[in-house]
Amino acid sequence: MNWITKFIKPGLKTLLKRQPKTEEGSLWTTCNCQQLIYKEDLHKNFFVCPKCETHQKISCRDRFKIFLDNNEYEILKTPSPPDDPLNFVDTKKYIDRLTAARKLTKQDDAIMIASGKLKGINVTVGAQNFSFIGGSVGSASGEAFICGVQYAIDNQTPFIFFSCSGGQRMMESSLALQQMARTVLAVNELKKNNIPYIVVLTNPTTGGVSASWAMIGDILIAEPKATIGFAGRRVIEQTIGETLPDGFQTAEYIKDHGGIDLVVSRKELRDTIGTLITVLLKKNKTTSIEATNENQEDLKQIVEVAS
Amino acid sequence: MKSYLEFESDIKVLEEQLDKLKDPFNNEGLAEVNTEKIYQIQNELDQKLKEVYSNLSRWQRTLLARHEERPRAKFFINNLFSNFINLSGDRQFADDKAVLVGFGVFEDQSVLVIGQEKGDDLDSRIERNFGMMRPEGYRKCIRLMQLADKFNIPIISFIDTPGAYPGIGAEERGQAEAIARSIECSMSLKVPNIAIIIGEGGSGGAIALASSNKIIMFENAIYSVISPEGCASILWRDPKKTLEAADAMKLSAQDLLDQKIIDEIIKEPLGGAHRDKNALLNEIKKSIRKNLKELSELSREDILDHRKQKFLFIGRKKGLIKDINSKDKMTIEENIFSNIKQKINKNKIVIPIAVALAVLISLILLYL
Ligand SMILES: [Zn+2]
């Protein structure tokens, strides 16, 4: 340990603690590994900690930016059902939680849908922002998902969804629960139209989201170490009265139990999914020589991932 | 031994008095039945029952929905269907005894019956895992729902579960996937399916078998995204705030009917379903008969579409949306008023501007 880590970093840490770490002015941020990371390094590394490889939770816009060709995407307008249909109040008003989440994330609700290109192929992409009330699903998220599916059907594009949620939004109660049936209904339409549906399960994907649209993708991919499951860790521990093993409900564990197809790190998602949809849509021959080269690299990666 | 809920203490006292009076030999020296006194206490009891039960809180209904003596799925299966044969297994791993599935006959009509079963006594409760299904249970249902679809046989499910089982094995064998597939299967059936929530409709574990053309609830049943205890401990950080959580979540049958999530409520006898199980049977029979008849008039394709439209409609307010019945699109087109309303809600600045504009216009009008 040199003097910089000994003195300057703790100093910086206390400085940072006084300000919210998401503040735009600060150049530094932290990670689960307690290390200070230069923000620009983190962004360049697809929001994956350069020190410990933790895949950090990201906003919908950041997700679209790092995933789509030339960082270009167009946000689709999704319907806005009435806010707070049940006038829900717990220790706080739901409407105040919504206002705060909107201010924090600059999103209308947890799910956003975008269109763009992946390896030259038009795709419709959806993502969930965990910073918006834990990525929870209510009417607005349900409508956004359905809207995204309809857009993919209308435009005959693959539908790729990045899930990140603890489950349904309690403040919309039964209306939130019904989104499980409503979103699955939409997926059925997608499948009827033979449109590829790929789900990327990111940390965390649990509860009503994993038990509805997220686990019925044609192909299921997870980011490394993502928590994936139905019941929360604490609920299981309380029920069975035991502490759970360390790796329980991680992406790798689920893959070992046959629950998902692939675990792919964030920087390789573009290549892996790009290759998958190229092959699924049989666009192999139409690609240019450069792209073909790229494809061969992609295939190599697939083989590596698969092995 | 009867069991009473905490809000039934007055009722308990009266019923015990009544039982003693009706059985005078238990009391020393009394050999004659005091009919006058019995009559008086019976009246008092009826009055008390009416008083307590006409004004139940949502939390009290939750307790009733979980009442030990509440009739279970097995009771309804035994009393409503003939020729019921219970079928087992998911053909992959195990047979889940938390759910009963089998073909049977309802008034001369073949049906598939699914029933989440909590059990009646401690032994059967343990055997049935308290009605908490594991992945193989959902997979057994999927297997048999597909069979019913193949033979064009309607499906009736009785919902009564605290939720899907949270355990290590269940997670390893894909609890989430099993529930998702069960919804997927229910949503793609071309035969009518009717779900009757008889007790607890516990979240994902319930909707997995309640994604149906018709959802019917018993008057004191509940249907919610999480238990009041769970909600209270997460949002209030105090598991004792169940009363508040139950109210906030609006989980009663009437609430769900108001939200247009369920289609119908079956009235229970005064004091709850367990006080007169047989009276309830007639009401259910009527309801199943009516709903099967209504749905039998639809073609296979229309049954699928009926279910799809029903669920797409949930949460979409009529009047503010045009074109809700468009069959080829799932999305809604919002009309101009709903957009303006949303903008006002989201952007408080719009209100003063609108008010200023209105004042200005009225001034101009006055001047003219
Ligand atoms: Zn790190």
Give the nearest chain B residue to A168 (CA atoms): B225
- Which of A85, A146, A178 shows the shortest C-beta gap to B330? A146
Task: Tell me if A142 and B204 make a contact (CB, 8 A cut-off).
Answer: no
How far is the centre of ligand 1, averaged over its atoms, from the C-alpha of A56 (Å)? Answer: 9
Identify the pLDDT of residue B29. Answer: 55
Is the pLDDT assigned to residue B345 strictly greater than 80? no
- Digit-coded pLDDT (tens) for B203-255: 999 999 999 999 999 999 999 999 999 999 999 999 899 999 999 999 999 99
What pLDDT does A4 receive? Answer: 47
Residue that wins the pLDDT comparison between A305 and B95: B95
3-state secondary structure of B332: coil
* Cβ <8 Å between A173 and B249: yes
Whether A260 and chain B come into contact, CB under 8 Å, resolves to: no
The pLDDT, as a whole number, for residue B36 is: 83
Strand pairing category for B333-334 and B109-116 = unpaired
Give me the DSSP letters along B263-318: SEEEPPPTT-GGG-HHHHHHHHHHHHHHHHHHHHTS-HHHHHHHHHHHHHHTTPPB
A143 touches chain B (CB under 8 A): yes
Residue A222 phi, psi dihedral angles, 5° rounding: -125, 150
Helix axes B35-53, B9-22, angle to 10 degrees: 160
Residues of B in contact with A249 (CB under 8 A): 171
pLDDT of the residue at A225: 96
Long-range contacts at B291-294 (CB < 8 A, ≥ 24 apart): B291/B192, B291/B194, B291/B213, B291/B214, B291/B216, B291/B264, B292/B106, B292/B109, B292/B111, B292/B154, B292/B192, B292/B194
CA-based nearest residue to A194, from A114, A277, A127:
A277
Quickly count: other Cβ atoms within 10 Å of residue A15's Cβ: 11
B330 pLDDT tier (thresholds 50, 70, 90): confident
Q: Which pLDDT score, from 0 to 100, does residue A3 have?
A: 46
Whole-angstrom distance, CA of residue B303 vs CA of residue B154: 11
ipTM of the complex model: 0.87
Please give the average per-residue pLDDT across B265-284, as a whole number: 91
Query: Which chain residues have CB less than 5 Å from ligand 1, an ion?
Result: A 31, 33, 49, 51-52, 54
Q: Is the pLDDT of residue B156 over 80?
A: yes
Q: Give residue B41's pLDDT.
A: 86
Mutate to test the interface with A, among B175, B179, B189, B225 (most CBs of A within 10 A): B225
CA B198/CA B219 separation, integer angstroms: 9
Domains of chain A and any CATH numbers: 58-306 (3.90.226.10)
Q: Are B14 and B48 in contact (CB under 8 A)?
A: yes
* DSSP H or E segment with residue B131: none
Say whether pLDDT at B117 is over 70. Answer: yes
Per-residue pLDDT of chain A (307 residues; tens, 9 = 90+): 444 444 444 445 544 454 444 545 678 888 888 888 898 999 999 999 998 999 999 999 999 999 999 999 999 999 989 999 999 999 999 999 999 999 999 999 999 999 999 999 999 999 999 999 999 999 999 999 999 999 999 999 999 999 999 999 999 999 999 999 999 999 999 999 999 999 999 999 999 999 999 999 999 999 999 999 999 888 898 888 888 888 999 999 999 999 999 999 999 999 999 999 999 999 987 555 555 455 555 555 555 555 4
The one-letter amino acid code at B54 reads S
CB B218 within 8 A of CB B266: yes
Cis amide linkage into residue A82, ω under 30° from 0: no
- Does A259 contact B224 at a Cβ distance shorter than 8 Å? no
Q: Apex CA A216: angle with CA A141 and CA A140, to 5°?
A: 5
Q: Region of B268 please: left (phi>0), alpha (psi -120 to 50) or beta.
A: beta
Distance from CA of B235 to the nearest CA of A (A): 6
Interface of A with B in 148-177 (CB under 8 A): 149-150, 168, 170-177
Among the ranges given (A161-165, B263-267, B274-278, B344-348), the one the predictor scored with the smallest mean pLDDT = B344-348
DSSP B170-239: HHHTTHHHHHHHHHHHHHH-SS-EEEEEEEEEEHHHHHTT--SSEEEEETT-EEESS-HHHHIIIIIS-T
Q: How far is CA A45 from CA A26, A37, A66, B173, B213, in A?
A: 18, 11, 10, 34, 48
Tokens representing residue B93 in the block: 């791993």
Which amino acid does the sequence have at A129?
Answer: N
Residue spans per domain, chain B:
6-55, 64-313, 319-368
Q: pLDDT band at B46, cuts 50/70/90?
A: confident
What span, in angstroms and rounded, lies between the C-alpha atoms of B191 and B180? 19
Name chain A contacts of B248, Cβ cutoff 8 Å: 86, 88-90, 173
CA-atom Rg of chain B in angstroms: 25
Find the A247 Cα to ligand 1 centroid distance in Å: 18
B334: helix, strand or coil? strand
Please tell me the predicted confidence (pLDDT) of residue B320.
45
Which chain B residues are within 8 Å of A256, Cβ to Cβ? none
Q: Name the minimum distance, in Å, from the CA of A37 to any CA of chain B.
A: 32
Does residue B317 have a pLDDT over 80?
no
Write the CB contacts of A214 (distance below 8 Å, at least 6 apart in sequence).
Answer: A161, A163, A199, A201, A205, B176, B180
Among B255, B261, B317, beta carbon nearest to A178: B261
Confidence (pLDDT) at B13: 86
- Interface A:B, Cβ pairs < 8 A: 188
d(CA B207, CA A296): 45
What is the pLDDT at residue A62?
96
Return the residue matching tokens 């919610």. B224
Banded pLDDT at B319 (limits 50, 70, 90): very low
Instruction: Output the pLDDT for position B48.
Output: 84
Q: Which CATH number fits domain B64-313: 3.40.50.200, 1.10.357.10, 3.90.226.10, 3.40.50.720?
A: 3.90.226.10
Residue in chain A nearest B238 by alpha carbon: A91
Residues 6+ away with beta carbon under 8 Å from B74: B100, B115, B117, B120
Distance, CA A37 to ligand 1 centroid (Å)?
Answer: 8
- The secondary structure of chain A as a DSSP string is --HIIIIIHHHHHHHHHHS-TT-TT-SEEE-TT--EEEHHHHHHTTTB-TTT--B----HHHHHHHHSGGG--EEPP---PPS-TT--BSSSBHHHHHHHHHHHH-SSSSEEEEEEEETTEEEEEEEE-TTTGGG-B-HHHHHHHHHHHHHHHHHT--EEEEEEESSB-GGGHHHHHHHHHHHHHHHHHHHHTT--EEEEEEEEE-HHHHTTGGGG-SEEEE-TT-BB-SS-HHHHHHHHTSPPPTTTTBHHHHHHTTS-SEE--GGGHHHHHHHHHHHHTT-TTTS-HHHHHHHHHHHHHHHHHH-
Which residues have C-beta within 8 Å of that of residue B72, sequence separation ≥ 6? B115, B117, B118, B119, B120, B160, B198, B199
| Paired tokens of B118 | 């909590």
Say which residue, B338 or A275, is predicted with more confidence: A275
Q: Look at A89 and B248 and tell me if their CB atoms are within 8 Å.
A: yes
Would the pLDDT of B35 be above 50?
yes
How far apart are the C-alpha atoms of A259 and B172, rounded to whole Å? Answer: 8
The answer to whether B253 and B218 have CB atoms below 8 angstroms apart is yes
Q: Please report the sign of the dihedral spanned by the C-alpha atoms of residue A18, residue A21, residue A23, residue A27.
A: positive
CB A184 to CB B184 under 8 A? yes
Please judge whether A174 and B225 are an interchain contact, meaning their C-beta atoms are less than 8 angstroms apart: yes
- Residues facing A125 on adjacent strands: A114, A160
Q: Taking the C-alpha atoms of B283, B289, B294 and B295 in order, what is their torsion angle to the nearest 10 degrees? A: 110
B-chain residue closest to A176, CA distance: B225
pLDDT mean over B186-191: 98
Q: Which residues in A lie closer than 8 A to residue B222 (C-beta atoms)?
A: none
Would you state the pLDDT for residue A7?
47
Separation of CA B275 from chain center? 19
Tell me what the mean pLDDT of segment B152-172 comes to: 95
> What's the one-letter identity of residue A251?
A
Which of B183, B240, B332 is best to mutate for the A interface (most A CBs within 10 A)?
Answer: B183
Residue B322: per-residue pLDDT: 46
**Rounded Cα–Cα distance for residues A281 and A287 (Å):** 12
A52 interface with B at CB cutoff 8 Å: no
B266: exposed, middle or buried (C-beta count within 10 Å: 0-12, 13-18, 19+)?
Answer: buried
